[in-house]
């Protein structure tokens, strides 16, 4: 019960409470005060007074000091413990004021005044009237203040809501710009490492050099996967993650996965196997890139958390459900049932010591589960502490027409087209610009725009912060190709 809910209109003023263990006194006080126009409630003990006050408010308490079980001082002390009664007027009634200490004790527990028996009727009415009026005025003022505050809030509500919407929009834009910038800054050096390694792989190198180069390439791609995890998590949280629906070759995807983890498993002394049941076709329609990302996350965890034994990837087809089943099983550290229930939440790991011992962000399984859901699939885990884990991924995939598929290996080996015309590279990192043979490289936006207005250009490779593209588009009437930044699909034109 809260005083803020009290109504102080004239017809519903809180009553005066009289507390006395003698019935004749209760009757006398009630008669006098009722005749004076007060609403009066009477109780014959301190305990009953407390019970009443818990349920109903009063405007003043007129209380005898000498009562059995709980005297007036004890009752007043209990009343004052309730916040809504800190300022409630309490008048003590006593046959005699024995000493200064007796009077002081009353004031210490919150007495407003004393009345000594026998009490003059007019004095009683005057004192009750004074304290009752002051308290009711206080309640009325508080109620008016609450009403005024509520009215002000109602008047400001639309403005506050509008400001909140604008703030949310601004925060979302700022977050998108930050992620776009961070995506570029993180991916640019990795793209340089991977791109240069792929170029070198086509040159004449001996066996040892090829092996070292493959190690660099694999490590670069692995680091890129980690960066992608962080950025993908942000895109998933913002609801801006999109799943592609394109043809891909599952055999190529599995080959790449095997290449990555065969070496990792061998270095860790583990047996790694890819067990594939006979599939009707390896040509499917779906998001092969994100499927590969899930498998790499699952296998990466399996190899990382398995100290001895094996890691296997089983691939099978459920023709009736038009689903492909991928099962990643290991003989690693496993996890308890409680941990398995929360393992797909962001930043969760089976044990806090895992990040210290093995590294990782705790995002991989969260992203994998989210991607599976976005692809209309499921990802679940079965595990036992100390006995390994089994992750089962079910993804619905449509079969594609084999004749329309071009194997990825053939695409990579196809002759690169010779560039004709003028190509402007808008990129701040020299390691990226060195991958292409441009005629012109300009680093500042204002010089790019000035140059474009005076020269005939067919294509721009634009790799700086995606958020600046609008400043370039104002003067373009030809394709603008963006590097693969956060929010900028590779090969997109504007």
Cα(149)–Cα(9) distance, integer angstroms: 19
Give the model's pLDDT for residue 413: 45
CB atoms within 10 A of CB 230: 15
401: three-class secondary structure by DSSP:
coil
Q: In what order do the strands lie in the sheet with 459-462?
A: 440-441, 423-426, 459-462, 480-482
Please determine, for residue 423, whether its predicted confidence score (pLDDT) is greater than 80: no
Task: Tell me the two tokens of residue 262.
Answer: 């065969």
Q: How far is CA 382 from CA 304, 335, 343, 390, in A?
A: 18, 9, 11, 5
Q: Are strands 310-318 and 271-276 parallel, antiparallel or unpaired?
A: parallel
60 pLDDT band, cuts 50/70/90, is very high
158 pLDDT band, cuts 50/70/90, is confident
- Once rounded to an integer, what is the mean pLDDT over residues 20-47? 93
SS3 breakdown of the chain: % helix, strand, coil, rounded to 5?
50, 15, 30
Phi-psi region of 386 (alpha: psi -120 to 50; beta: other; left: phi over 0): left
Give the model's pLDDT for residue 424: 54
Please determine, for residue 6, whether its predicted confidence score (pLDDT) is greater than 90: no
* Alpha-carbon 292 to chain mean position: 27
Q: Which residue blocks in 305-425 are alpha helix, DSSP H? A: 337-342, 352-358, 364-374, 408-413
Half-sphere exposure of 200 (CA within 13 A, CB side): 17
Q: How far is CA 360 from CA 214, 232, 441, in A?
A: 23, 15, 38
378 pLDDT band, cuts 50/70/90, is very high
Place of tokens 């094996």: 310
DSSP 457: -
Q: What is the mean pLDDT of the chain?
A: 78
pLDDT tens digit string along 203-242? 888 888 888 888 888 888 878 867 877 788 778 877 778 8
Contact criterion met (CB below 8 Å) for 33 and 91? no
Give the model's pLDDT for residue 291: 95
Please determine, for residue 391, whether its predicted confidence score (pLDDT) is greater than 90: yes
Give the model's pLDDT for residue 349: 59
Give the model's pLDDT for residue 454: 57
DSSP 418: P
Instruction: Provide DSSP, 110-164.
Output: T--EEEESS--HHHHHHHHHHHHHHHHHHHHHHHHHHHHHHHHHHHHHHHHHHHH
Give the model's pLDDT for residue 353: 52
Is pLDDT larger for residue 460 or for residue 31?
A: 31
Contact criterion met (CB below 8 Å) for 102 and 95? no
Using alpha carbons, select from 240, 243, 224 the residue that is nearest to residue 375. 243
pLDDT tens digit string along 341-367? 888 887 665 555 555 455 555 678 988
Q: Taking the alpha carbons of 294, 300, 303, 306 in that order, is the dihedral positive or negative?
A: negative
pLDDT tens digit string along 96-146? 766 777 888 888 888 888 888 888 899 889 988 888 888 888 878 888 888
424: three-class secondary structure by DSSP:
strand
Cα(307)–Cα(270) distance, integer angstroms: 8
196 pLDDT band, cuts 50/70/90, is confident
Task: Tell me the two tokens of residue 17.
Answer: 């409470």
pLDDT tens digit string along 461-487? 444 444 444 444 544 555 554 444 433
Please indicate whether the domains covering 3-119 and 243-404 agree at the CATH topology level: no
Is pLDDT larger for residue 470 or for residue 253?
A: 253
- In the chain, where are the structural domains located? 3-119, 243-404, 415-482
Give the model's pLDDT for residue 7: 43
Give the model's pLDDT for residue 374: 93
Please determine, for residue 398, whether its predicted confidence score (pLDDT) is greater than 90: no
Is pLDDT larger for residue 170 or for residue 259?
A: 259
Q: How far is CA 90 from CA 146, 198, 272, in A?
A: 26, 90, 84
The reply to whether the predicted model has a pTM over 0.75 is no
- Once rounded to an integer, what is the mean pLDDT over residues 378-386? 92
Give the model's pLDDT for residue 470: 46
Instruction: Provide DSSP, 150-204.
Output: HHHHHHHHHHHHHHHHHHHHHHHHHHHHHHHHHHHHHHHHHHHHHHHHHHHHTS-
375 pLDDT band, cuts 50/70/90, is very high
Place of tokens 């519903």: 12
May I ask the CATH class of domain 3-119?
alpha beta
Q: Could you give phi then psi for residue 315, rounded to 5 degrees?
A: -125, 125
Is pLDDT larger for residue 11 or for residue 277?
A: 277
Which CATH number does 243-404 carry? 3.30.565.10
Give the model's pLDDT for residue 360: 56
Residue 31: which H helix or E strand, with range? helix 23-35
């Amino acid at each position: 019960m809260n005083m803020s809910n009290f109504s102080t209109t004239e017809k519903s003023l809180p009553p005066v409470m009289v507390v006395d263990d003698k019935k004749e006194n209760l009757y006398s006080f009630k008669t006098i005060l009722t005749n004076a126009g007060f609403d009066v409630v009477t109780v014959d003990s301190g305990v009953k007074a407390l019970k009443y006050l818990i349920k109903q408010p009063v405007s003043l308490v007129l209380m005898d000091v000498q009562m059995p079980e709980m005297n007036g001082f004890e009752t007043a002390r209990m009343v004052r413990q309730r916040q809504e009664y800190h300022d409630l007027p309490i008048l003590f009634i006593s046959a005699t004021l024995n000493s200064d200490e007796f009077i002081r004790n009353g004031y210490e527990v919150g007495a407003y005044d004393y009345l000594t028996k026998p009490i003059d009727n007019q004095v009683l009415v005057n004192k009750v009237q004074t304290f009752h009026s002051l308290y009711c005025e206080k309640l009325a003022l508080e109620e008016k203040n609450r009403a005024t505050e509520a009215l002000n809030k109602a008047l400001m509500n639309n403005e506050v809501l509008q400001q909140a919407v604008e703030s949310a929009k601004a925060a979302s834009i700022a977050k998108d710009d930050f992620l776009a910038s961070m995506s570029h800054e993180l991916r640019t050096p990795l793209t340089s490492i991977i791109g240069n390694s792929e170029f070198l792989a086509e040159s004449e190198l001996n066996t040892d050099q090829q092996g070292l180069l493959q190690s660099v390439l694999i490590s670069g791609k692995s680091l890129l996967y980690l960066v992608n995890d962080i950025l993908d998590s942000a895109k998933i949280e913002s609801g801006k993650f999109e799943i592609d629906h394109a043809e891909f070759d599952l055999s190529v995807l599995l080959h790449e996965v095997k290449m990555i983890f065969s070496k990792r498993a061998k270095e860790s002394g583990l047996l790694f196997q890819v067990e594939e049941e006979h599939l009707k076709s390896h040509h499917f329609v779906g998001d092969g890139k994100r499927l590969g990302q899930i498998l790499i996350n699952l296998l990466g965890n399996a190899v990382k958390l398995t100290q001895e034994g094996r890691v296997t990837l089983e691939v099978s087809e459920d023709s009736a459900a038009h689903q492909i089943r991928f099962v990643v099983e290991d003989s690693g550290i496993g996890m308890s049932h409680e941990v398995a229930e929360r393992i797909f939440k962001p930043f969760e790991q089976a044990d806090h010591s895992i990040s210290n011992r093995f590294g990782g962000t705790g995002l991989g399984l969260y992203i994998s589960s989210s991607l599976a859901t976005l692809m209309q699939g499921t990802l679940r885990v079965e595990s036992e502490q100390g006995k390994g884990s089994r992750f089962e991924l079910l993804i619905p995939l449509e079969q594609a027409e084999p004749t329309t598929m071009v194997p990825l290996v053939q695409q990579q080996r196809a002759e690169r087209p010779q560039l004709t015309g003028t190509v402007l590279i808008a990129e701040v990192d020299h390691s990226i610009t060195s991958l292409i043979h441009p005629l012109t490289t300009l680093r500042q936006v204002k010089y790019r725009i000035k140059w474009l207005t005076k020269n005939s250009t067919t294509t721009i490779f634009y790799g700086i912060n995606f958020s600046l593209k609008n400043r370039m588009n104002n003067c373009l009437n030809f394709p603008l190709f963006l590097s693969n930044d956060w929010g900028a699909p590779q090969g997109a034109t504007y």
